[in-house]
Chain A
Amino acid sequence: MFEIFGVPSQALFGQLLLGLINGSFYALLSLGLAVIFGMLNIINFAHGAQYMLGAFTAFFLLQYVGLGYWSSLIVAPIIVGFTGILIERFFLQWLYKLDHLYGLLLTFGLALIIEGVFRKYFGSSGLPYQMPEQLLGGQNLGFMFLPNYRAWVVAFSLAVCLTTWFVIERTKLGSYLRAATENPTLVRAFGINVPRMITLTYGFGVGLAALAGVMAAPIYNVSPQMGADLIIVVFAVVVIGGMGSIMGAIVTGFGLGVIEGLTKVFFPEASNTVIFVIMAIVLLIRPAGLFGRRA
């Protein structure tokens, strides 16, 4: 062990890792928000609640069905994504012709409902979720102790983010999506079922949030409030990055997580607010966001 700027390396790299983990969640969530906004023109305020639903679904699957972490990683996002599809069909599809703000208000209402119901039945305290056996323990890297699970979360999130980027930017399916974002009427004229694409996009974005929730379950406790404050930070991340670019959302998410982690080491009082301060600075210097296009 050695010291950097008077801080023990374990503390520094530990916080950096925690920052990377938070950054993975920021990236996954802001990616989902960007994908949803691109297709639906709706800012999904329920994203935090759906992240929480992912964690709870994993918890229920383990408790009542006996499905462990690895199955939950696939099953929970599908289940929560499916509830997203229902939400899109029952509620959101009526709002596309209206101002963006109504989508925000409706999903805000949905978030209140979902979080309220879970708080009623599960209280405010968190429920523990077992870490998968295979990822218990960790590696001693000399300058720090690296818990296996945390390394897995960072690596897997990065892989999911990059895959999403690849699918949207480099495949045929992605080109349909991007075309439909630009001009839905024209894409429909080519015989592509745009409304179904919109529905599935929302389901996919919600599934990403749920996936983040499942990964968060063993690190943080599973609690009804876990998504409520997180979503506001993610909004700030989205403002900083701008929603125009998928890669932008990923880079901004991870980058801000790391900055937040470093702030925890050097200036802990500001760790809650640093992302908001960065947002204010970015608004002053580059109002369109780091990767955004001027609207």
Chain B
Amino acid sequence: MERVDPLTIPAKGLRDWSEPIAFAAMIVALVIAPFFAYPLFLIQALCFALFACAFNLLIGYVGLLSFGHALFFGWASYLAAHAAKVWGFPPELAILTGTATAAALGLVAGALAIRRQGIYFAMITLALAQMMYFFALQAKFTGGEDGIQAVPRGKLFGLINLADQMTMYAFVVVVFLAGFLLIHRIIHSPFGEVLKAIRENESRAISLGYKTDRYKLVAFVLSATLAGVAGATKAIAFQIASLTDVHWTMSGEVVLMTLVGGLGTVFGPVVGAFVIVAMQNYLSTLEQWVTVIQGVIFVLCVLLFRRGIIGEIAHALRVRL
């Protein structure tokens, strides 16, 4: 993979502060955003932002392109919706149920997919996701074409009523930030350094004694789990789980979000998710053209704009974002 590392010649002072400054800016933006935009739009964008960050953990830091991340996002949303609606779980337990499902699926899919490298990895994840799409289509509890509708939002810890839009928004912000900081922690840990070593040169990492398959599998499960958190939260917030979220187009969308924002940047996936979700909302009158526009963005990004929005900014300012 062509490295788009913005850190060629770092300006020392700015480099140390760029990430905290960007993080503070993001917090401020999240606090004032509800005054300018619909809470539901923000909730949707934040769920996808977490999804894209989870996906980016694999492509950006281990160099693995998963083309089947809808599998974890969608199945987590099904199980969360089912737990909340049929089993009557409170929202936090419903989300945990969905997340655990995604983690388990991630373990199985990851163990299979890491047996092949590069381009095959992408095809295997895509194929496995398609298989589970057919299961979702045929299984009874998923409701087939209808999906699981009218999922109750419930009371968080039995205390906080999530029916209120602003409360829900606050809850999603907390979930998103927890996931975001966890990913940040992972990529800056010794474990994360090994992941980057695998991305740069897997054979050398092996020769240094690292069991790279194990590292890749753990990274895959972490990514799947966090994608599951995003999917489960989205199911509770939007009170629906449907086939859209397990279809391969969803896997493609999360790739697009990350690519637009910047592969391998910390803030890129967040920005990319907001851009794509905003585009889908504002261009929804164009219906079928949305797919075509997404395709055009893919082509333009790959040909002219491989660093993505945040990657370009970071490159121009010579900082790491």
Contact = CB atoms under 8 A, between A and B. Distances in A.
Interface of A: 37, 43, 91, 94-95, 97-102, 104-106, 108-117, 119-120, 229, 232-233, 235-236, 238-239, 269, 272-273, 276-277, 279-280, 283-284, 287-288, 295
Contacts of B120: 239
B292 A113 contact: yes
B174 interface: no
Given A100-B119, A112-B291, A117-B292, A279 B127 contact: yes
Given A94-B303, A101-B65, A276 B294 contact: no
Q: Which of B1, B2, B116 has the most CB of A within 10 A?
A: B116
B278 interface: no
A113 B127 contact: no
A231 to B, nearest CB: 9
B42 to A, nearest CB: 26
Given A101-B118, A272-B138, 18 more contacts: A91-B299, A100-B118, A100-B119, A101-B59, A102-B2, A102-B302, A105-B259, A110-B299, A112-B294, A113-B295, A120-B289, A236-B130, A238-B123, A239-B124, A239-B127, A277-B131, A280-B112, A295-B117
A113 B302 contact: no
Contacts of B292: 112-113, 116-117, 120
Nearest to A42: B119
A235 B126 contact: yes
Contact of B122 (A104, A114, A115): A104
A120 B287 CA distance: 9
A105 B302 contact: yes
Contacts of B259: 105
B298 interface: yes
B131 A273 contact: yes
A276 B128 contact: yes
Q: Looking at chain B's contact residues, is the secondary structure mostly helix, strand, loop, or mixed?
A: helix
B135 interface: yes
Contacts of A108: 252, 255, 295, 298
B7 interface: no
Contacts of A235: 123, 126-127
A157 B134 CA distance: 28
A252 to B, nearest CB: 14
Q: Which of B2, B128, B259, B292 has the most CB of A within 10 A?
A: B292
B134 A273 contact: yes
Given A43-B119, A109-B297, A284-B112, A95 B288 contact: no
Q: Looking at chain A's contact residues, is the secondary structure mostly helix, strand, loop, or mixed?
A: helix
A113 B295 CA distance: 5
Given A101-B1, A295-B117, A109 B295 contact: yes
Given A109-B302, A295-B117, A101 B122 contact: yes
A119 B123 contact: no
B119 A101 contact: yes
Contacts of B123: 43, 235-236, 238-239
Contact of A295 (B118, B122, B135, B248): B118
A111 B67 CA distance: 15
Contacts of A283: 112, 115-116, 124
A43 B122 contact: yes
B2 A105 contact: no
B182 interface: no
Nearest to B306: A102
A283 B112 CA distance: 6
B58 to A, nearest CB: 12
Contacts of B294: 109, 112
B21 interface: no
B125 to A, nearest CB: 10
A39 B55 CA distance: 30
B296 interface: yes
Nearest to B287: A120
Contacts of B112: 280, 283-284
Q: Which of B1, B2, B118, B127 has the most CB of A within 10 A?
A: B127
Contacts of A109: 294-299, 302
Nearest to A274: B131
A116 B116 CA distance: 32
A178 B254 CA distance: 37
Contacts of A99: 1-2
Nearest to B255: A105
Given A101-B65, A119-B291, A120-B289, A276 B126 contact: no
Given A112-B291, A117-B292, A239-B116, A232 B126 contact: yes
A-B pairs with the 10 shortest C-beta distances? A109-B298, A112-B295, A113-B295, A276-B131, A116-B292, A116-B291, A99-B1, A287-B115, A236-B127, A235-B123
